[in-house]
A and B are shown apart, each in its own frame.
Chain A
Amino acid sequence: MLDENYSIKLTIFEGPMDLLVYLVKKHDMDIADIPISKITEQYLQYLDMMTLMNIDFAGDFLYMAATLAHIKSRTLLPSQGDDGEEEDPRLEIARPLMEYLRLKSAAVYLGGLDMFGRDTFEGGMLDKQDSKTEDDLEISIGLFELAEAFGQIMDRQYRDHTVDFSTNTMSVKERILELISIFEIHPGISFLKLMDNHHGKPMVVLTFLAILEMAKMNLIEIKQHIQNGMITLYYV
């Protein structure tokens, strides 16, 4: 049975306060003088409707319903005796509601300010990459994707599980310098290609360490193609 009270477009309310604000606005109520039985009734109707439509709502909504009912019952009772300065029980809900509305306005205000990175920019902020088509999108990747790629390379190429005890002839630093000279010729080079050399396991490990080190120093950017998963390193 849907009477006119139910013919409202259903918005998903984030919480009981949101719902209360909606009801107050809809029925043009004065927060300082909330018609408590009307709002309680409207509120409960709304909860009924949410139940009817199988929308799960959290206990917060029920707690608010109980609070409203409690306030309503207190307004019905005659004020007790000599204590003349007993405050309006409706303030229990009016006060937080006002506060909530004030902060909602503050949120609207903040959202309307000129945001850095949305409305205003600093030099160089927007010239990072050329515009690319959707399919050509590359994402910056983290350590885990890179480590996974490294694991795959090790799995594919070195199944002999021998250990080489010969002293390493090249340091990470030297390998970085080598890589930089490669990058200077090819500013973008695939991760696989760099790792794919036939100088043995120590060299692969060394190259990997050098890449990590370079990424840490912000010398290179590591990106993965969204479609084919290719990891490419860019010299910056």
Chain B
Amino acid sequence: MDVKRIIESLLFVSRGPLTLERIKSILHDTDRTVINMEIRSLVEDYKNRNGGFYIAEVAGGYQFRTHPDCKQWVTLLNQPSPLRISRAALETLSIIAYKQPLIRSDIEYIRGVDSGGVIRNLLDLKLIRVLGRKDIPGRPLIYSTSKYFLELFGLNDIKDLPTLNEIEDLVKKQEEPSQGLSGDQEKP
């Protein structure tokens, strides 16, 4: 039986990203490099086909996802349960993503406001997790982003996020060409 076909069928029925390890555990006689090669080839196939869905490489695994272009029609089929992430939550989340591992006071130092509520909210959403406690007075909790964070934002690894400097340029270009603020300090 063709390994590629088997992998494709596994991806089709799987819920959530399917990792190479998981596929290997099913196709134990097949070499890891062969599996990897076949996945890559599948990813390319779907990319070249440019259809309504593609294979997303997220959180260290592979998953069929609908193409973002088709969002407006797909959501007519059925309203997705609303995904509400407030501006404050997104801000806090980006601080955690870029400064992790960190404790609550690190977040509050940057934001300048009490962030306990937002952190609890992010924990409830499972977007962040507790890594442990820091060995300083009060033994505060240490936070980091979760695997679900990667899934939600379609990232394979936290390292896939662009650096803060890169982002500043990106955001500046796309949204505030006329503002004289931000970023001037970085210019050589």
Which of A119, A128, A131 has its CB near the most chain B CB atoms (within 10 A)? A119
Do A120 and B66 contact each other (CB < 8 Å), given the known contacts A105-B168, A107-B90? yes
Scan residues 23-53 of chain A and give those whose CB is less than 8 A from a CB of chain B. Answer: 24-25, 28-32
Residues of B within 8 A of A188 (CB): none
Residue B136 CB within 8 A of the other chain: no
Residues of A within 8 A of B64 (CB): 122-123
> Are A122 and B83 in contact, CB atoms less than 8 angstroms apart?
no
> Are B97 and A17 in contact, CB atoms less than 8 angstroms apart?
no
Scan residues 12-66 of chain B and give those whose CB is less than 8 A from a CB of chain A. Answer: 12, 15-16, 56, 58, 63-66
- Give the interface size class of chain B: 35 or more
> Are B181 and A115 in contact, CB atoms less than 8 angstroms apart?
no
Residue B9 CB within 8 A of the other chain: no
Residue B154 CB within 8 A of the other chain: yes
Residue B10 CB within 8 A of the other chain: no
Which of B75, B78, B94, B97 interacts with A129 by CB under 8 Å? B78
Question: Smallest CB-CB separation from A124: which chain B residue?
Answer: B15
Residues of B within 8 A of A16 (CB): 112-113
Residue A158 CB within 8 A of the other chain: no
Residues of A within 8 A of B81 (CB): 117
How would you classify the secondary structure of chain B's contact residues: helix, strand, loop or mixed? helix
Which of A18, A106, A119 interacts with B164 by CB under 8 Å? A106
Residue A111 CB within 8 A of the other chain: yes
How near does chain A come to B81, taking the closest CB pair, in angstroms?
A: 8
> What separation, in Å, do the CA atoms of A128 and B81 have in the docked complex?
11
Residue B157 CB within 8 A of the other chain: no
Q: How many residues of A contact B (CB 8 A)?
A: 48
Question: Smallest CB-CB separation from A104: which chain B residue?
Answer: B91
> Are A110 and B97 in contact, CB atoms less than 8 angstroms apart?
yes
> What separation, in Å, do the CA atoms of A97 and B79 have in the docked complex?
39
How near does chain B come to A49, taking the closest CB pair, in angstroms?
A: 19
> Are B83 and A31 in contact, CB atoms less than 8 angstroms apart?
no
Which of A17, A107, A125, A126 interacts with B112 by CB under 8 Å? A17
How near does chain B come to A139, taking the closest CB pair, in angstroms?
A: 11
> Are B153 and A100 in contact, CB atoms less than 8 angstroms apart?
no
> Are A131 and B79 in contact, CB atoms less than 8 angstroms apart?
yes
Which of B65, B78, B109 interacts with A120 by CB under 8 Å? B65
Residues of A within 8 A of B1 (CB): none
**Extra 6 A-B pairs, beta carbons < 8 Å, given A108-B175, A122-B63:** A17-B111, A30-B180, A103-B98, A115-B153, A116-B151, A122-B16
Task: Offer 27 A-B interface pairs, CB within 8 angstroms, sorted by A.
Answer: A16-B112, A17-B110, A31-B181, A31-B182, A32-B184, A32-B185, A58-B114, A60-B114, A96-B109, A100-B112, A103-B98, A105-B167, A106-B98, A107-B90, A107-B91, A109-B162, A109-B167, A110-B97, A116-B65, A116-B151, A117-B152, A118-B80, A118-B83, A119-B71, A120-B68, A121-B74, A131-B79
A interface residues (Cβ-Cβ under 8 A, vs B): 14-18, 24-25, 28-32, 58, 60, 64, 96, 98-111, 113-129, 131
Closest 10 CB pairs of A and B: A15-B113, A17-B112, A106-B94, A126-B78, A32-B185, A107-B94, A105-B171, A114-B68, A15-B112, A119-B68
